[in-house]
A and B are shown apart, each in its own frame.
Chain A
Amino acid sequence: MPRHISRLLLLFVGAGILALVARWYFTADTFYQFGHFRGKAVGEIAAKEPAYQTARYCEDCHTERHAQWSANNHKSVNCEVCHGAAKGHPENGKLPIPADTRKLCTLCHERMAERPRPQPQIDPAQHSPGQQCIVCHNPHAPKLAGVVAKVAGDAAAGAKTHAARCADCHGAAGVSPNDSWPNLAGQHGAYLVGILAAYKSGAQTDAMMSPIAQGLSDAEIQNLATYYAGLRCEAKPRKSRLGDPAAGKALAKNCAACHGDAGIGGNPAWPNIAGQAPEYLVNSLKAFRAGLRKDPMMAGVVRGLSDTDIANLAAFYSAQNCAPAAKVKETP
């Protein structure tokens, strides 16, 4: 064989060997393990930690809220749709509670021709314009029916019942002389109907209130509620030595959607708390925290509150005027 041919062949063989070595060196170990790709990459993709944890993840700690949510219309809307992905919660802090519910709720409920008919839809320009949705709707049990009790009683008859049964503790004018008991003058009627019915049925218990409520007929409850709702609250704003009202004001932003900016809320299903005695407010919040008073909304709200937070909130609300000049108009 001529020398130049054998050299050329040698060169080819050398180049081939070099190519094979380079390929062996550069190809990842798991390439071709399952096909024309890096086998290890599949495991790498699958190893990523999920951000959305599902409602099951929330259930153990937020049991009551979960129970309420899963029994109501929004059960198809998972927790993390509104509160964000739960990855890192609770270790890294709280999940957001949506502030602008008007914006959030209309994502699904603004009336559009494009939306399927069965979807409940509202016209934001007509449906309580400017009002936050959660003033009337509990996001975890959004249907209003049964939430706001009807109040249609006889105020004069209520006044008599009040004088006979309630005035000793709650004051002749519905303003309690004792710091442990709530003022009732000017309280929302629907709230009073609800809470008295709860005492009567045993859903809510209190050593003093349970026997009294059990002695009331449904008509008497209606009359009382009508009477108190129409009574002007004469309680004076108070200074509390228990806490710091300024710190309480900052915390009260979380309560404002239901209880109003200064303790007078727009939804009659939920109580006014402005001007109540600080001791009463502290006791109530602690009772919610301990589970002695049962309410799925409040249970979630108070869970994260310390004793100091509670004292500060009580100091803020007790210092508010319970009968502001421009009384908040009650929505029917």
Chain B
Amino acid sequence: MTNPSDPSGKARREFLRRLGGVAVACTGAAACSVAPQSGGPVAGPDPSPVKDYDWTKHHWAFGVDATKCIGCLRCVEACKTENDVPGDAHHFNTWIERYVYLEGETKARIDSHHDPVNIAASGSEKEFRFANRYQDAKVEKAFFVPKLCNQCTHPACVQVCPTGATYKSKDGVVLIDDKYCIGCQYCVQACPYGARYFNPTKGVTQKCYWCYHRITKGLRPACVEACPVGARIFGDRNDKQSPISLFIRNNRVQVLRPESGNEPNVFYVGIDKEVS
């Protein structure tokens, strides 16, 4: 990755070094299609690609308090409307999982809004609700867990993208460039959280991007705006008094699949060992 502020001499050395690598690689003709990683146009004076917003000044993060989630799915609804997510139940940027331990069972029963029972309860694939399917069962423990893209610090999805269509922004969000995405779906497979999906009508991969168009305008993501119980927390970690900074400071938080090495940036409170 080139840093535009580097002295040009270093960039040239880097360029020559990589050129040598390319020359070797070009003996296999196919490798030539992979663009080398330097020598592009020099950056302009503008330090931020978004108007009236400095992306070097923010460090966004997300919190989920699963002890508050009531499973109303208004977040899923809001997200669909806000982000032009396909209208059916099987494509979504964010979702809620329901974990139910029945008496005498050791494993949790897990379902989400796209479970056939829940689709039947809502009446259509365009509406979302959790069916009250355990009302007559003996429930030992049960809770809801909202899920979304973790905007990892070391995102596996970005590593595998062959075209540079998905990348990490400086303020901490993994974005997708619709125009450069070729729909190969490597990233869908690479994501350990199942946060990505392929949109067959557009031919591109989509996922949660913390409503980047909202947060760069000073608004909260649509799901946070819609959550009636404050189970979703969002803010800037550079601001020590932001909701997310307070949430992380005042709670014992954890992340999903820490062993994956992705360093997720969605922090959870109140989830169980089976949630991953």
Contacts and interface: CB of A to CB of B under 8 A. Distances in A.
A33 B44 contact: yes
A201 B222 CA distance: 43
Contact of B180 (A16, A41, A111): A41
Contact of B72 (A36, A78, A85, A107): A107
A128 interface: no
Contacts of A34: 4, 43, 49, 170
B24 interface: no
A152 interface: no
Contacts of B166: 37
A48 interface: yes
Nearest to A35: B1
A74 B4 CA distance: 50
B2 interface: yes
A40 B23 CA distance: 30
B180 A112 contact: no
Interface string B21-62: 001001000001001111111011000011101010000000
Nearest to A76: B228
A108 B82 contact: no
B70 interface: yes
A116 B41 contact: no
A92 interface: no
A46 interface: yes
Contacts of A45: 175, 177, 209, 212-213
Contacts of B228: 74, 76-78, 81, 108
Q: Which of A34, A40, A119 has the most CB of B within 10 A?
A: A34
Contact of B167 (A35, A76, A81, A108): A35
A31 B37 CA distance: 10
Interface residues of B, number: 68
Given A35-B1, A81-B78, A41 B179 contact: yes
A112 B135 contact: yes
Contact of A50 (B177, B178, B213): B213
A25 B161 CA distance: 22
Interface in B175-190: 175, 177-180
B92 interface: no
B38 to A, nearest CB: 7
B6 to A, nearest CB: 12
Contact of B226 (A16, A81, A111): A81
B226 A80 contact: yes
A6 interface: no
Contacts of B226: 52, 78, 80-81
Given A107-B73, A112-B135, A84 B81 contact: yes
B71 interface: yes
A114 B142 contact: yes
By secondary structure, the A interface counts as loop
A35 B129 CA distance: 41
Contacts of A42: 49-50, 55, 169, 175
A110 interface: yes
A36 B164 contact: yes
Nearest to A106: B129
B257 interface: no
Q: Which of A51, A77, A113 has the most CB of B within 10 A?
A: A113
A49 interface: yes
B251 to A, nearest CB: 16
A226 to B, nearest CB: 39
A43 B49 contact: yes
Contacts of B98: 114
A179 interface: no
B237 interface: no
A29 interface: yes
22 contacts: A19-B26, A19-B32, A31-B40, A33-B41, A35-B1, A36-B164, A42-B49, A46-B51, A52-B78, A52-B222, A76-B228, A80-B78, A85-B78, A85-B81, A107-B74, A108-B70, A108-B74, A108-B228, A112-B130, A113-B100, A113-B139, A116-B143
Q: Which 4 A-B pairs have the closest CB atoms?
A: A32-B40, A41-B177, A37-B167, A48-B213
Interface of A: 16, 19, 23, 27, 29-52, 54, 74, 76-78, 80-81, 84-85, 107-108, 110-116, 119
